Structure 1
Amino acid sequence: MARPRVLLVVTADDFGYCLRRDEGIVEAFLAGTVTSVSLLVNGTAAERAAELARKYSIPTGLHANLSEGRPVGPARHSASSLLNREGFFLGKMGFREAVAAGDVALSQVREELEAQLSRFQELLGRPPTHVDGHQHVHVLPGVCQVFAEALQAYRVRFTRLPLERGVGGCAWLEAPARAFACTVERDAQAAVGPFSRHGLRWTDVFVGLSTCGRHMSASRVLGSLARALEDIPAGHALTAELMAHPGYPSVPPTGGCGEGPDAFSCSWERLHELQVLTAPTLRARLAQNGVQLCAIDDLDSKRPADIVPCEATLESCLESSPS
């Protein structure tokens, strides 16, 4: 049966967060599953991560951070709407609440984004292949407009649009995770306009909100792709991104972005993702279904190869994925 042809980018977020995280990310890249990474330039291991990216020729983008740790721009020297009294960003939910209340100066958002883009250039000696947002801050109302303007000015074309089909119906997600995923999707949908007007591009399909941490498995990744492909005509070629967070657990106080590693980074869930990504099962099932792995900056030049018929399909993987 003819199936959509898929080019899949597997992006490991939080590169530069800590040495143990980076060790796992490089391991997943060398295993051939992770194809791109997103660098936190305010991460405590950012300089070492940049060295690893150069050593292993890892396609690297910027993981723009407005919510965790210390800033790299002018805000670190003065009072800023982006920071609390201790000089740290406001946190995953704190930043969202401040944006919703209109308490965040978008001019300061622009300054910090530009500072992080410049810092990336200093570390890697080249522009980022893509820019996405740590904890999806880049799709928040107002922030997405500033984000799009900054990327256009720096001639960065690729970003992430975290719209994952059916994530609200994923029964295995705990209620808070499901609610957060639905909020991210709503914000991402509203960001389409600003992103499009400024010439940004993203993959046709996004997966990762439903497969984060303990929830990742080969079947769930394939199932999420299958849901995304339900309305794609047979034989049509499309692009997809899997967001991932592999790595060895952080050991406090080492790691983080200036205030130590968070609980998720210290948990076994990062290691679980690493194990799923480096095991042969996922790569074999992707290949079996005609899914080709590539980096995001390859999307202009690569074309999916002809699909070879096989017994398994992405649709069957959806039917058999755990709930």
Structure 2
Amino acid sequence: MSDCVESPRRVVFHADDFGMNPAVNEGIVTTFRKGLLTSTSLLANAPAAEAACQTWSALTAEFQSGRLPSALRRQQLTEPEQPFDLGIHLNLTQGSPLTGTHFPNRLLDHQGNFPGVGKLFFRLSRAGATERKLVAAELQAQIEWMFDHGYPPTHLNGHQYIELIPVVSMMIPEIMKRYAIPTVRVAEERGLIPNLLLRGEVTGWCLSLIKRYYAGAFRRRMRDEPCNVPDRFFGTSHAGRIDSQLLSRFLQYSRDASLTEIGVHPASPVLGDDLVANDPWFDPLAAMRPSELNLLCSLKLDQELAKRNLGLGRLGQPRQTPVSRTREPSA
């Protein structure tokens, strides 16, 4: 597999939430093996994070040996020989903090779990210097977890887009430098947000505009930083609902981009009894995820990419600087 001169434009199919639960883990690994997934990011504090790491080594070995069921498809789409991307999915909205009792209690719910993205946004806006330092320590602990398991992150993004929250976005440049993480997501989705309003999804339209506003501010913040940012990103406004028609439009809107990242959420089916709404790791996308798995494994996707002269790409780049693993003091 080698880069194709005639096809410099590339697409990264990226799956968030690796480690969330067995169904998500299985779906992501299946989509690497049988489909065209090229990237994922790990929830270090999630219940199935350890299991995710155990499957990653086997998946990587299968890729490097050319034994993936999707190997020929990937070769025809000029996929680079570089290993799949495995990044950190920074999380302050679900589950409990890795830093335990050092994390500010005011930023947790009454059960000691992260409070959800809406409450997090407003509580962080009132956070003082000490609380912010402890939040930074938690984010660093999640990255340290990956290092400790032998997987330096190839890229960085946030669960439920927490990297767009101003208090968090201010921490990202220093965190990336500290751990030599070369690539960050900027979830600034363009072109398809008005469709939500046309379909009567007023709440989704409003939330998408808010995300795009903060994503624009985040892009400006990262503009002068020594890091890589994909030219286009799609998936913010349609999580769990991406079908072949919408995916085709994503690719159409990325025609002037060298590297486009498309965020997807594949998973295997989950039994209804396993969906508990008050569980801190409740997955509202569970019922929709299998359809995205099927889409990414479909041969029609190969045809769509070939028709547009697009190849498969990577987010991660080789590190040029040593990694400093010194955390901020806990308190």
User: Shared topology, TM-score over 0.5?
Assistant: yes
**Equivalences for residues 85-104 of structure 1 within 5 A:** 85-102=110-127
The answer to whether the Cα contact below 8 Å between 1:173 and 1:210 also exists between their aligned partners in 2 is no
Please report how far the alpha carbon of residue 76 of structure 1 lies from its aligned counterpart in structure 2 after TM superposition: 3.7
Q: Does 1:212 align with 2:239?
A: yes
Q: Which residue pairs with 2:187 in the alignment? A: 162
| Structural mapping, 1:308-323, within 5 Å | none
Whole-Å separation in 2 of the counterparts to 1:261 and 1:249 = 16
What is the alpha-carbon distance in structure 1 between the residues aligned to residue 308 and residue 27 of structure 2?
26
Q: Deviations over 1:106-152 (max 9, x none)?
A: 212211111001001122x1310101000000121121011221111
1:18-33 aligned at under 5 Å gives the runs 18-33=21-36
The whole-number CA distance in structure 2 between the counterparts of 1:244 and 1:70 is 24
Structure 2 CA distance for aligned equivalents of residues 277 and 173 of structure 1:
27
Equivalent positions of 1:165-244 (< 5 A) are 165-170=190-195, 171-172=198-199, 174-214=201-241, 216-229=242-255, 232=256, 238-244=258-264
Matched, 1:146 2:171: yes
Checking the alignment, whether the CA contact within 8 Å between 1:23 and 1:248 is kept in structure 2 is yes
Secondary structure at the aligned position of 1:206 is classed as strand
Distance in 2 of aligned mates of 1:173 and 1:299: 44
Q: Which runs of 5+ in 1 are unaligned?
A: 301-323
Q: Distance in 2 between matches of 1:260 and 1:253?
A: 16
Secondary structure class of the residue paired with 1:213:
coil
> Per-residue deviation at 1:153?
1.0
Query: Aligned-residue CA RMSD in angstroms?
Result: 2.6
CA contact (8 A) 1:12 1:244 kept: yes
Residue 81 of structure 1 deviates from its aligned partner by: 3.6
Structure 2 CA distance for aligned equivalents of residues 209 and 29 of structure 1: 21
Q: Is the 8 A contact 2:10 2:312 kept in 1?
A: yes
Aligned residues: 287
* Separation (CA, whole Å) in 1 of partners of 2:86 and 2:115: 26
Match of residue 290, structure 1, among 309, 313, 323 = 309
Q: CA deviation at 1:101?
A: 4.4
Q: Which amino acid aligns with 1:37?
A: T
Partner of 2:40: 37
Equivalent in the alignment of 1:50: 53
* Partner Cα separation in structure 2 for residue 93 and residue 240 of structure 1: 28
Residue 59 to residue 81, structure 1, CA distance change in 2 (3 Å): same
Partner residue in 2 for 1:9: 12
Q: Does the CA-based 8 Å contact 2:182-2:317 persist in structure 1?
A: no
Alignment-mate amino acid for residue 84 of structure 1: D
CA distance in 2, matches of 1:223, 1:299: 31
Question: Take 2:170 and 2:206, find their aligned partners in 1: how far apart are those partners?
Answer: 24
Is 274-283 or 195-204 further displaced after alignment? 195-204
Identity over the aligned pairs, expressed in percent? Answer: 27
- Give the whole-Å Cα distance in 2 for the aligned partners of 1:175 and 1:299: 42
Whether the 8 Å contact between 2:259 and 2:313 is mirrored in structure 1 is no
Which residue is equivalent to 1:122? 148
Displacement, 1:241? 0.2
Superposition deviation, residue 164 in structure 1: 1.1
User: What displacement does 1:52 show?
Assistant: 1.1
Deviation at 1:19, TM superposition (A): 0.8
TM-score by length of 1: 0.81
Q: Which residue of 2 aligns with 1:306?
A: none
